[in-house]
Amino acid sequence: MLDYRALNSFPINRTFSANTTNTQVMFPSNAGYMTIQSPDHKILVSFEGEDVGAPSPHRIEVNSGGTIEFKLAKGYNRTQSVYIATESSGAADINIIFEEG
């Protein structure tokens, strides 16, 4: 699990390594937008799952080099994290950006 909840200087750019099991990414408390990208691997992104668990069947597939951008909800409607995994074996660099919103 990657816990970015305490970060509060925007924009926030982070890179980490992921594999075929979920990596849970906790959002900074004031983040309003998030962008996820992997330059060399197809990745699976979901708001359901568990850290180091199997990727959820309820997911978005992002092709190698593609990005997914989304607005984070506020208040009681806000989810606390996203789950990211790769489609194929091997480690993949994942780039994320959090923006204030």
What's the number of domains the chain is made of? 1
- The CATH number linked to 71 is 2.60.120.10
What lies within 8 Å, CB to CB, of 100 at 6+ separation is 10, 11, 30, 31, 32, 33
Q: Provide the whole-model pTM.
A: 0.94
d(CA 95, CA 64): 12
- The predicted-structure confidence for 9-36, as pLDDT tens digits, reads as follows 999 999 999 999 999 999 999 999 999 9
The domain in which residue 85 lies consists of 2-100
**C-beta of residue 23 within 8 angstroms of C-beta of residue 95:** no
**C-beta of residue 11 within 8 angstroms of C-beta of residue 97:** yes
